[in-house]
Amino acid sequence: MDLYFLGTGAGMPSKQRNVTSIALNLLDERGTYWLFDCGEGTQQQILNSPVKLGRTEMLFITHLHGDHLYGLPGLLTSRSYLGGDTPLMLYGPRGLKSFVETALSVSGAHLTYTLQIVEIEEEGLIFEDESFQVETARLEHRIECFGFRIVEKDQPGKLMQEKLTELGIPAGPLYGKLKQGQSVQLEDGRTLHGIDFLGAPIPGRIVVILGDTRYCSGAQHLARGADVLVHEATFAMDKQELAYSFDHATSIDAARTAQEAGANALIMTHISSRYQGDAVMELLLEAQKIHSNSYIAKDFWSFEVPRKG
């Protein structure tokens, strides 16, 4: 599992940073990618990345500002051209369905796959299956905006093969059943219970990706205990009043949120174009004074999400 940053700029693209889009690489976990936001030019960024649009399973839109949304119609259409024929789930605020349907209808676009659009009405759990769940909460921005908490469920512990060998149980199909926690009966009448041959469960990882926001309780709620928190840091601290007036966060706001929520790593993105070249280090140094394990994302940069312990 890793995060791949397709666009890390704020408001409008610059020569160094395209507007917002992030891919969560889940190829090892489920053979797919999840995308978060789709600013203008996202599909072009994907062409220069390892991300495979045809293998994208879900797309989450934090809010309907153009720098997070305007790349969506082209990306949805291109997915058809690139052989994407599996269903795609699209989550986002109210108004997303109207935007997508209007853009596709007016342009005469035809999708070769099933697109299901879910407009988020309430905070809380919006997706769950046997391996992942996604929770959302409202943030504080000029329009309705959400953050997403992606939780990987705990995995069974490793099979204690040495213990089975000591009991004279040879490797084979029984190992697979025990690994799944099942009980099996041997030919000699003994019954083995999978739970007795499994190590401690492997804790799942937690990734939190926020949309644009001021420092707020919704962000803290989602970020609690996260392995990785992705938080906007549009401005440095000396632009605190400007950030507040436009409902954005500073690097200090991002670091405070990570520190108070007990998040392990903080990755800052949505960087104002005023911070070019080495100037971006101002944001990083400010954040690291509060939360030492902080990073500044850049386009085409990836971050592997570590397991606990």
Looking at residue 235, its pLDDT comes to 96
Count of other CB atoms within 10 angstroms of residue 81: 10
CA distances from 222 to 125, 146, 183, 188 (A): 11, 10, 38, 52
Strand partners, 232: 269
Contact 110, 76 (CB under 8 A): no
Q: Give me the long-range contacts of 73-77 (CB less than 8 A, separation at least 24).
A: 73/100, 73/103, 73/104, 73/107, 73/109, 74/43, 75/38, 75/42, 75/43, 75/46, 76/100, 76/104, 76/109, 76/111, 76/115, 77/104, 77/107, 77/109, 77/111
Q: Is residue 67 annotated as a catalytic residue, yes or no? A: yes
8 by DSSP, 3-state: which?
Answer: coil
Encode pLDDT of 276-297 as tens digits: 989 999 999 999 999 999 999 9
Encode pLDDT of 13-53 as tens digits: 998 999 999 999 999 999 999 999 999 999 999 999 999 99
Encode pLDDT of 93-102 as tens digits: 999 999 999 9
* Burial of 6 from C-beta contacts in 10 A (0-12 / 13-18 / 19+): buried
pLDDT above 80 (res 3): yes
Q: Does domain 2-155+202-304 have CATH number 3.20.20.80?
A: no
Query: What is the C-alpha separation between 233 and 268, in angstroms, rounded?
Result: 6
Is 63 a known ligand-binding residue? yes
pLDDT above 80 (res 308): no
Q: Which tokens hold the place of 291? A: 């939360």
Is 231 a known ligand-binding residue? no
Is 188 a known ligand-binding residue? no
Encode pLDDT of 158-169 as tens digits: 888 888 888 888
Share of the chain above pLDDT 90, in %: 79
Instruction: Please report the sign of the dihedral spanned by the C-alpha atoms of residue 292, residue 241, residue 280, residue 229.
Output: positive
Contact 42, 6 (CB under 8 A): yes
Q: Round the average pLDDT of the chain to a whole number and report it.
A: 94
Looking at residue 275, its pLDDT comes to 94
Is 129 a known ligand-binding residue? no
Confidence band for 194, pLDDT divided at 50, 70 and 90: confident
Is 110 a known ligand-binding residue? no
Looking at residue 192, its pLDDT comes to 86
Confidence band for 179, pLDDT divided at 50, 70 and 90: confident
Query: What is the C-alpha separation between 23 and 36, in angstroms, rounded?
Result: 6
Is 67 a known ligand-binding residue? yes
pLDDT above 80 (res 86): yes
pLDDT above 80 (res 309): no
- Domain map (residue ranges) of the chain: 2-155+202-304, 161-197
Query: What is the C-alpha separation between 199 and 104, in angstroms, rounded?
Result: 51
100 by DSSP, 3-state: which?
Answer: helix
**Position with higher pLDDT, 187 vs 298:** 298
Averaged pLDDT, 225-251: 96
Looking at residue 283, its pLDDT comes to 96
Give me the catalytic one of 2, 28, 37, 67.
67
Q: How far separated are the first and last CA of the chain, in Å rounded?
A: 16
Instruction: Provide the whole-model pTM.
Output: 0.89
